Amino acid sequence: MTSAALTGRMRSAGRRLENGLVLVVLAAMATVPLMELVAREVFDGGIAGSIPLVQHLTLWITFLGAALAARSDQLLALSTASFLPARAQTVVRAATAWLAVAVTGCLLLASLELTRVDHEYGDIVAWGIPVWLFSGIMPLGFALIAARLVQHGSDRSSVRFAVATGCVVPLAMLLWPDFPAAGLVLPASLALVAATALGLPIFAAIGGIALLLFWHDGIPASAVPGEAYRMSTSPMLPAIPLFTLAGYILAEGGSSQRLLRFCSALVGWMPGGLAIVTTLVLAFFTPLTGASGITILAMGGLLLPMLVKGRYTERNAIGLVTVSGSIGVLFPPSLPVILYAYYAEVELDRLFVGGLLPGVLLVLVVAAWGARSGWRAGAPRTPFRPRELLAALWHAKWELLLPVIVLYSLFGGFATLVEASALTV
């Protein structure tokens, strides 16, 4: 076996191990809340330590997800560098990768210090599992991200080596911790902002500026991963990856086609029925997938040609799909509403109740506008068939029941937000 074949096999095994670890963590996050719910409702007593365990698993899925994004070169960043000439793109790509490696290396050292402190204190999360075992995912995640930033920094080995020299920055901070920060914070921050405009990953810009400001104030760098640890282990945050997972399963499982069939059978016979169907399907599907962009990607390619074929102008069709996909963020279990409730420290049920009436009103207004446009353009209608409606209702029963289950479990008072999100999975 050649060295190239051996390297390829090792990489493939590493990918399978990483993917499997993500699946195990997600399965645990979905299973433990359900076990807690059943134990509380059936046996009048919950499972000790289940809540903090799920909260700390969120930290694992956060950094494993970041490592997967770095593996596929999909870390969140601006795409402005793509407008530059090809030679300039190569230089900018390597320069931003070098800076990202430098920041990631500093975060790696800071998270190692945090893990060391957790190990010394020996605190337990639950079931005898120590805190340091959870916080240890941070240095591991940053190490994987840094290695992949080097890999994607260039296609040439010599340039990759130059990108890897970004590790000199955290080593310098380790060797000279008392190096004066005066005069460096402002130019370094401006360099990070400029690099962000050219494609530096957003996390590197935010983390780098935070490190600089803490360094200037004499605060240990471990405060940055410490704050990330505190936020990732919040009681509400596990609901976000679980709802996202449920939305992904729905999108990949053909839920959009089943909902489209049901809405077409229900209102497709009305004047401008295709526009009403589009509005209802997208507004209903968006809160299930968690984001309007995912809804538009999943449904836009199907609905847009149908609208254009149905005599809607391309401009009106694009506008209808885009607007209808955005309305659903007001309905539960919308992830933007959950995030807002978390950061604003507002009761989630009040936000969902407050968004219900405006959301319904927007659905009615947009559907009416689309129906009027279709009626004026002479859009065709589908005949009403009761048997088809019943068949479509049966095939889409679980998608239609999902919001009811979430709302009933939340507002009925027998499930927390995290447990309701686990029910959707």
For residue range 387-404, list pLDDT tens digits in order.
888 888 888 888 778 777
**Which comes out higher in pLDDT, residue 286 or 71?**
71
**Which comes out higher in pLDDT, residue 105 or 246?**
105
User: Residue 303 corresponds to which tokens in the numbers above?
Assistant: 């609905």
Residue 376 CA to residue 271 CA, distance in Å, equals 9
Average model confidence (pLDDT) across the chain: 81
User: Is 369's pLDDT higher than 60?
Assistant: yes
User: Is 38's pLDDT higher than 70?
Assistant: yes
Residue 85 CA to residue 272 CA, distance in Å, equals 47
pLDDT grade for 1, boundaries at 50, 70 and 90: low
CB neighbour list of residue 316: distance below 8 Å, 6 or more residues apart: 307, 370, 373
pLDDT grade for 142, boundaries at 50, 70 and 90: very high
pLDDT grade for 143, boundaries at 50, 70 and 90: very high
Residue 408 CA to residue 224 CA, distance in Å, equals 39
pLDDT at 295: 64
**Mean pLDDT over residues 219-229, rounded?**
82
pLDDT at 367: 86
pLDDT at 145: 93
User: Is 90's pLDDT higher than 70?
Assistant: yes
User: Is 248's pLDDT higher than 60?
Assistant: yes
pLDDT grade for 144, boundaries at 50, 70 and 90: very high
Which residue matches tokens 């409702």?
A: 41
262, HSE (Cβ side, Cα atoms, 13 Å): 21
Percent of the chain with pLDDT over 70: 92
Reading phi first (left if > 0) and then psi (alpha if -120 to 50, else beta), residue 226 is in alpha
Which residue matches tokens 């969140």?
A: 76
CB 70 within 8 A of CB 148: yes
- Measuring CA to CA, which residue among 70, 68, 112 is closest to residue 201? 70
pLDDT grade for 341, boundaries at 50, 70 and 90: confident
Residue type at position 146: A
pLDDT grade for 177, boundaries at 50, 70 and 90: low
Q: What is the DSSP-derived secondary structure letter of residue 419?
A: H
303, HSE (Cβ side, Cα atoms, 13 Å): 32
Strands 129-130 and 124-126: antiparallel
**Mean pLDDT over residues 194-214, rounded?**
88
pLDDT grade for 332, boundaries at 50, 70 and 90: confident
